[in-house]
Chain A
């Protein structure tokens, strides 16, 4: 029996978190639920605890990258075989988890499955706002060029990885707006990812972590990271390498 962990990063999602956990419990009963409360100032952790989910509470807000990596660290430490990220705001439908898991398990050399909003033919469901779609389109074009595979939804936070992915992400995960860079990280480690079509729901409560004023800075930052990444011969950290962030060998 494989051990399965659903990582639910949440920042001020007290209104939606219980329903999100309940959704996972009902539609994907084999999955343990871990909520990573990323320094919420509302009762997110309390609501999550009353549902019986495991909860990691960050003493302050680290951002989505730090929250998700906390989850992968937990998965690594506790010997989970598969981990999936499900946003705490209820945008992701847990009904897709069995299908994603089946896909991961049925193909030997597949390491990550992402739910893409833009693969579905019917164009229904939530597909983000127009300006964001433009940004997503740009990243999707760049990433598809770099990886040589079609990547239609590089910012999707609904992604499931196997043990290799867990080990990689626990060791090294990008900071802000990490989904795009994580795709490249996998590619640099020669791990394979695939997308399946999903529909997402618009968020009903709470606020997105990415507001329009900072999204331009984020995009620039991610573009820089993607660009610099092209010049890295050994881009990332493998087992036995020096740590990604090390006090040794600094100026």
Chain B
């Protein structure tokens, strides 16, 4: 009786909306063709079918977005007996705790028992990765109590003195974005004794000869604004990202940076020592200067290091 008296009106309104939706869908698909299932793969499109989106501060991904990056990874921290230590000041043959902070950009899907692999590399760019170990982490949804999650791995440094780089690789089975799962911590500190000199290897980890060029900047991640300090809509967030764009953080005037060689063409697996010499401007005393050295090749960014010049 309800249908006859007035229910039909609501139904007509809703049915018209469905017709409009189907028309829009038909128009949007018109030039795209239908999704074709391949072999045993059957496409599924439903809002209940969800994937997590685990992520870490991934320099390669962020660079691909045109953003400036630091190799002093804000999501990777080393501890010695519970005290945070800099990855640039590691003692040989010492057991540290590497802690990775992991985020989830999905508001719908947690990632339970997600594998996280830790490895270390000789300090440098594209050097060979040596596994430390793997653990699992339970990552909750964005905004929930399990996000961020922390993966912890003990690591005993090699007995050979030197600088090492830490890599953390998230290994979810399903991921809305697989491109933001590799975080790298790659730092060194040097004292400017007119000049400060750093040497590290650059290796070609690809299967083809590559030519590498360098870029230097002084980027340090900006402190996030307070949430109450202004709008936080998509436009405001885009503006925040734009403030972190690559190219906006030149080395301060007066600093003289020399990279030798300033470009390198390498065969697969070939490596070459790179020397960076940083001379502070006269009058620069009692402070630190961060320098990010990025190596680029035809395929994009190959890697980088963050150097801190300590001027007494």
Binding between chains A and B: no
- Measured CB to CB, the residues of A under 8 A from B are none
- Measured CB to CB, the residues of B under 8 A from A are none
